[in-house]
Amino acid sequence: MKYSILPQLLRKDELVSGNAYVEMGTFLAILLGTILGGSLIAHSQFGPWFVGAAVLIVAVLGWYSSMRLVPLAPVAPALRLQVNPVVPTWQSIKRITQTRSIFLAILGISWFWFFGAAILSILPAYCKDFLHGDEALITLFLALFSVGIGIGSLLCGRLSARKLELGLVPLGSLGISLFSFELFLAGRPDALVASSAGHVTILGLLASAGGWRIVMDLLLLAIFGGFFIVPLYTLIQQRSEETERSRIIAGNNILNALFMVVAALLLVLLFHLEVTIPQIFLILALLNLGVATYIYTVLPEFLFRLLCWVIAKVCIACNSSDATTCLSMVLPYWYATTSVWWIGS
């Protein structure tokens, strides 16, 4: 429940940066765990034993780290754990639907995990079966996606200027769709250089402009994913009641897990229908565009904040001597944003 404890450990102006660091750490941990697990299980004789030992070591380190946290007073001391998990699970799901902005933010987060789970699942097949890459190339792709999320999360913290900036969410969703579509257009470059063993190595991929195109598409897709996810977590933390926050985060986690299961089922169906991996990138791009359109239609605050953020940046970029030019650039956007906000509300 790391997201529910952050508002108690950090000041309000530190919350966006705190979420950015947590998101970066989460995906780096996923990357390191994937690489370490694959390396350990590859040992022909003691692979399962090595993996079991690594899991125990990580569990002990996690327990020790949790014990080092600053003790905090309970915000809902009357709340008691229930033996039957069905009732609190249903209560958590009902609780997240009570505030529309929080519920839509949770839907956005769940969609991000749907999209992220789908991308992480198809990357090995994309690399090995479609690009004919070796194991090192698979690791590079996983690293690009995980590191890109971290970079995007940190950039989001910087661009937000230490406050919640919902305008970065539409920007993030637009970038996700754009570069997913770009991966579809990139296809398999003809100039990829294969090794003597018939596999495309990292150097073989980077030896062509098409290879660099794929690398940059994947990295930028992940960076925009960081723009998308960090403000949504911050919104939930700031707009939920302190006594309800942990249960709202619990409901969010339940919905996240459900969306990831649906993503796996969708991929099974698409592979059964013999849909190619570039076509899957196209489908994900269109689905992401549809989900974003729905969220921003029912909650236009995100688009309103994006346009206001752009207007603010334009005004800052303008010199005092260019005040008239700046005003002529800003006013049309201002009228558009106020109209969108008025219609949506």
Residue 84 has pLDDT above 80, yes or no: no
CA dihedral 153, 3, 170, 14 (to 10 degrees): -60
| pLDDT number for residue 3 | 77
Question: Residue type for 254, please?
Answer: I
Alpha helices in the chain (DSSP H): 2-9, 15-41, 47-67, 86-96, 100-125, 135-159, 168-186, 202-206, 209-239, 245-272, 277-298, 301-317, 323-344
DSSP 192: P
- The mean pLDDT of 57-76, rounded to a whole number, is 83
The model's confidence at residue 270, banded by pLDDT at 50, 70 and 90, is: very high
- The mean pLDDT of 250-279, rounded to a whole number, is 92
Per-residue pLDDT reduced to its tens digit, 200-218: 888 888 888 888 999 999 9
d(CA 278, CA 188): 9
DSSP 71: P
Q: In terms of Cα–Cα distance, which of 139, 114, 113, 112 is closest to 124?
A: 139
Per-residue pLDDT reduced to its tens digit, 240-255: 888 788 888 888 888 9
Q: What is the CA radius of gyration of the chain?
A: 22
Residue 335 has pLDDT above 60, yes or no: no
**235 near 166, Cβ under 8 Å?**
yes
Structure tokens at 61: 């380190």
d(CA 100, CA 106): 10
Backbone angles phi, psi at 69, to 5 degrees: -70, 150
